[in-house]
Structure 1
Amino acid sequence: MSKEKTQLYIKDHSVSGEMFQLKENEKYGFLETFPQPKTNQLSEYYKTEDYISHTDAKRNWFEKAYHLVRRFSLKQKLKLINGFKTETKTLLDVGCGTGDFLKTAKDNNWIVSGIEPNAEARTIANQKTENAVFDIEQLNNFESNSFDVITLWHVLEHLPDLEYQISILKKLLKPKGRLVVAVPNYKSFDANYYNQFWAAYDVPRHLWHFDQNSISKLFASIDMEIEQLKPMLFDAFYVSLLSEQYKSGRKNIFKGFYNGLRSNLNASRTSEYSSLIYVLKNS
């Protein structure tokens, strides 16, 4: 990791306008947001109506497009977990937002549970899942070896006390169970193109910033290996559109879409997509 990348300064464009620094973690190689808000202060940085995963709002074309893409993504996510051979089809979705993935899985015969710290999003999710969604404290109350599949869709980067959290997730997985982790990839074309304006840095809500090597090292520490690697193609467009707004101060739809397309085309050769899904198998 170059010194320039390690010393990158990023602005919180969504809420506070504060500046944060990215520093390389010597043990695993991912980038850390510095300074990190204290755990009891983190919720303050989520207080914006623009945080789409905590609402079902469709106020403008951007949110309408987001929900349209989400419907397609839900089918892809379901197809992924349905491809795992499981006996009981037990699923835990950590950071489930408003519960659409859990509802999709439940409607397809999965026994679902969810974790969502945001109270408003959790209320919406519980209306869709017959009260199967809990606050973060519930993670410590589930029995060991409870789940065939645990999913974290753009959630790992938000979790404080990272090593402790992944050890809990491993404990909750059944032997040979799968952990599915989707995170942004700071080695992608769009990350390098937009640099400090890359929307997927999303400081300080994103505490950690991963690439393939750092994910591999992190989960090797709990004896889990990457079984599959899959792209999230729509993320390049979504992130590039936001990044373009952060960089220029206005929504440049055509340029954002063009750079999202460039990112995916580049990744078709390098496998460095804007966001990646890691399927990790338990021992």
Structure 2
Amino acid sequence: MTSTNHKHYQTVKDNSVSKEVFELLHDEDWDMLITSPQPKGTELSKYYESDDYISHTDSKRSIFEKAYHFIKNIALKNKLSLVNSLQKKGMLLDIGAGTGDFLLTAKNDGWKVIGVEPSEKARTIAAKKGIELKPVADFDDHSFDIITMWHVLEHVPDLQNQIKELKRLLKPNGAIIIAVPNFKSYDAKYYGEFWAAYDTPRHLWHFSKTAIKKLFQNENIELVKILPMKFDSFYVSLLSEKYKTGKMNFIKAFFIGLKSNWKAKEKFEYSSHIYVLKNAKN
């Protein structure tokens, strides 16, 4: 991915860990935002060192965490239904597997599963559930029927290399499922610098529908379907309210989430999207 056509888009703060300020640059060639500066290597890991980083814990300490896990359980069933609609049960790889709940759901449904997860804390929790996690380099070419990345692609430092790896690992008739936030949604525009899904600097990239299509097309992978993640507008709005006002405003967040989903119908710009991709037919 090479482009120098970058323009200032937004200044944003790391509201959850460091309180540092970052810039979002709009890459007009790919129609995506880039976090600047981007922390590298071990420097990046310190931005994940928080008990509040919810995808790396099974904690249910607060009403917010309890609500998150309640919605997550519904989402797990929806994710499994999507996977089952695409392929007969075979080998499934989840990259950024977190504490392993999706893999456990798929395993219990008859899939052969394996995952990748950089967080040692999350890997320890997943192992207790009987979920095997390995480095992506350990996998053979064309090993998987389904590869999933649920809100993970935005975290990957080397974006172009990651997409090449997905191409390498996917069986010829397999499918890739990518879920990422959408910076063109109503809730993103409404909350601006306080939009929780910017989540800088953990989110290094911020995608539009055009960006996903172009990035994967570059590796001869075709975008075949886009689906909304309607729950995300409520979750993100609730967290954005906290960043903006200092408190959880459940009622206000609910109405902003509802409005975001309603407005999304016009141009299909939901808070987050699921993208289904397959190898392009020659």
Report the TM-score range of the alignment, normalised by the length of the smaller protein. over 0.9
- Contact 1:185/1:276 (<8 A) preserved: yes
Counterpart of 2:147 in structure 1 is 150
Q: Which residue of 1 aligns with 2:111?
A: 110
User: Do the aligned residues in 2 keep the contact of 1:6 with 1:31 (CA within 8 Å)?
Assistant: no
C-alpha displacement of 1:131: 4.4
| C-alpha contact 2:104 2:131 (8 A) present in aligned 1 | no
Give 1:251 deviation, angstroms. 1.4
Q: List, as ranges, runs of 4+ consecutive aligned residues in structure 1 with deviation greater than 6 Å.
A: none
> In the aligned structure 1, how far is the partner of 2:162 from the partner of 2:172?
18
Q: Secondary structure at the match of 1:53?
A: helix
Equivalent-residue separation in structure 1 for 2:273 and 2:12 (angstroms): 22
- What is the match of residue 166 of structure 2? 169
| Cα RMSD (Å) | 1.5
Q: Aligned partners of 1:53 and 1:85: how far apart in 2? A: 27
Q: Please give the alpha-carbon distance, in whole angstroms, between the structure 1 residues aligned to 2:42 and 2:53.
A: 19
- Write the mapping of 1:27-46 to structure 2, written as runs, cut at 5 A: 27-46=29-48
Q: Deviations over 1:136-191 (max 9, x none)?
A: xx211200000000000000000011001110111000002111000000000000
User: Which SS does the other structure have where 2:76 is aligned?
Assistant: helix
- TM-superposition CA deviations, 1:173-222 (whole Å, max 9, x none): 00021110000000000000001110000000000000101111111100
Matched ranges for 1:39-188 at <5 A: 39-86=41-88, 89-128=90-129, 130-134=130-134, 138-188=135-185
Q: 2:210 — aligned with what?
A: 213
Shift of 1:55: 0.3
Q: Is the 8 A contact 2:100 2:131 kept in 1?
A: no
TM-score under structure 1 length normalisation: 0.95
TM-score with structure 2 setting the length: 0.95
* Contact preservation (8 Å) 1:180, 1:280: yes
Q: Classify 1:5/1:231 alpha carbon distance in 2 versus 1 (closer, same or farther; 3 Å).
A: farther
Indicate the larger mover: 177-186 or 19-28: 19-28
* CA distance 1:131–1:9, shift in 2 (3 Å): same
How far apart in 1 are the matches of 2:216 and 2:248?
38
Q: Quote the offset at 1:279 in angstroms.
A: 0.2
Deviates more, 1:24-33 or 1:256-265: 24-33
Cα deviations across residues 19-55 of structure 1 (Å, max 9, x unaligned)? 0001123542211000000122111000111111000
SS at match of 1:7: strand
Q: Which amino acid aligns with 2:192?
A: N
Aligned-partner SS, 1:133: coil
User: Do the aligned partners of 1:183 and 1:276 also contact (CA within 8 Å) in 2?
Assistant: yes
Cross-structure match for 2:237: 240
In structure 2, the partner of 1:272 is 269
SS in structure 1 opposite 2:35? Answer: strand
CA apart distance, 1:127: 1.7
What's the counterpart of residue 201 of structure 2?
204
Aligned with 1:170: secondary structure? helix
What stretches of structure 2 of length at least 5 have no aligned partner?
Answer: none
What is the number of residues matched between the two proteins? 276
Q: State, as a whole percentage, how many aligned pairs show the same letter.
A: 54
Task: List runs of 5+ in structure 1 lacking aligned partners.
Answer: none
